[in-house]
Chain A
Amino acid sequence: MGNAAFVAINLLFLAMIASTMIVPLWNAVAVSFSSDLGSMQPGILMWPRDFGFTGYTSIWTVLDLWQPFENSVIVSVVGTTVHVLFSALAGYALAQSALPMRRTITVGILVTMMIPFEAIMIPFYVTVQELGLLNTLTALILSGMVSGFSILLMRNFFLSIPGDVFESARMDGAGHFRLFFQICMPLSKAGLATVALFEFVGRWNNLLSTVLLINSASKDTLQVALNSLINQQSSTSSGTLITTNVKMAGIIIAVLPLILAYPFAQKYFVKGIFLGSSKE
Chain B
Amino acid sequence: MPLYAMLLPTIAYFLIFTYYPLAHAVVISMQQFNLIGHRPFVGMRNFLAVLADPNFWSSFRNTLVLGTGILVIGFVAPILIALSLNEVMQGWLKRSLQMIIYLPHLFSWVVVGGLWIQLLAPDGGLVNAVLWALGIPPVQFMSDPQLARWVIILVSVWKDMGFNCIIYLAAIVGINPALYESARVDGAHRWHEIIYITIPSLARTMQVVALLSIMGLLRLFDQIYVMRNAVIEPQVNVLMTYVYDQGFQQMNIGQATASALLILTVTLFLTLFTRRLIRYDTV
Point out residues on A near B: beta carbons under 8 Å. 3, 6-7, 10-11, 13-14, 17-18, 20-25, 27-28, 31, 39-45, 86-87, 89-90, 92-94, 96, 98-99, 105, 108-109, 112, 114-116, 118-127, 129, 142-143, 145-146, 151, 175-177, 180, 201, 204-208, 211-212, 223-224, 226-227, 230-231, 244, 247-248, 250-251, 254-255, 258-259, 262-263, 266, 269-270, 273-274, 277-278, 280
Q: Name the B residues within 8 Å of A263 (CB-CB).
A: 99
14 residue pairs of the A-B complex, CB under 8 angstroms, read: A10-B87, A14-B85, A17-B101, A43-B124, A90-B7, A99-B3, A120-B21, A122-B28, A122-B253, A126-B24, A142-B13, A206-B108, A226-B110, A273-B163
* Contact A223 B130, beta carbon cutoff 8 Å: no
* Contact A251 B111, beta carbon cutoff 8 Å: yes
Q: By DSSP majority rule, is chain B's interface helix, strand, loop, or mixed?
A: helix
Q: Which of B6, B123, B211 contacts A93, CB < 8 Å? A: B6
* Contact B7 A89, beta carbon cutoff 8 Å: yes
Taking A10-B84, A27-B119, A262-B106 as contacts, is the C-beta distance between A86 and B158 under 8 angstroms?
Answer: no
Taking A6-B190, A14-B88, A120-B22 as contacts, is the C-beta distance between A277 and B3 under 8 angstroms?
Answer: no
Closest to A27 in B: B126
How many contacts A-B (CB < 8 Å)? 246
* Contact B2 A227, beta carbon cutoff 8 Å: no
Taking A21-B104, A90-B10 as contacts, is the C-beta distance between A127 and B167 under 8 angstroms?
Answer: no
What 1/0 flags go to B8-46 for Cβ under 8 Å of A? Answer: 011101101111111011001000000100000000000
Q: Name the A residues within 8 Å of B7 (CB-CB).
A: 89-90, 93-94, 105
How far is B16's CA from A27's CA once the two chains are assembled, in angstroms?
45
- Total chain B interface residues with beta-carbon distance under 8 A: 88
* Contact A10 B119, beta carbon cutoff 8 Å: no
Q: Name the B residues within 8 Å of A18 (CB-CB).
A: 97, 100-101
* Contact A120 B18, beta carbon cutoff 8 Å: yes
Interface membership of B212, Cβ < 8 A: yes
* Contact A86 B10, beta carbon cutoff 8 Å: yes
Q: Which of B158, B221, B268 contacts A20, CB < 8 Å? A: B158
Interface membership of B256, Cβ < 8 A: yes
Q: By DSSP majority rule, is chain A's interface helix, strand, loop, or mixed?
A: helix
Taking A22-B100, A27-B119, A277-B208 as contacts, is the C-beta distance between A255 and B107 under 8 angstroms?
Answer: yes
Q: Name the A residues within 8 Å of B115 (CB-CB).
A: 24-25, 28, 251
Closest to A280 in B: B208
* Contact A44 B25, beta carbon cutoff 8 Å: no
How far is B113's CA from A254's CA once the two chains are assembled, in angstroms?
13
Closest to A95 in B: B3
Interface membership of B199, Cβ < 8 A: no
Interface membership of B129, Cβ < 8 A: yes
Taking A21-B104, A244-B124 as contacts, is the C-beta distance between A116 and B218 under 8 angstroms?
Answer: yes
Q: Which of B4, B10, B11 contacts A87, CB < 8 Å? A: B10
B162 CB, nearest partner CB in chain A, Å = 8
* Contact B218 A118, beta carbon cutoff 8 Å: yes
Taking A18-B100, A24-B126, A254-B108 as contacts, is the C-beta distance between A123 and B268 under 8 angstroms?
Answer: no
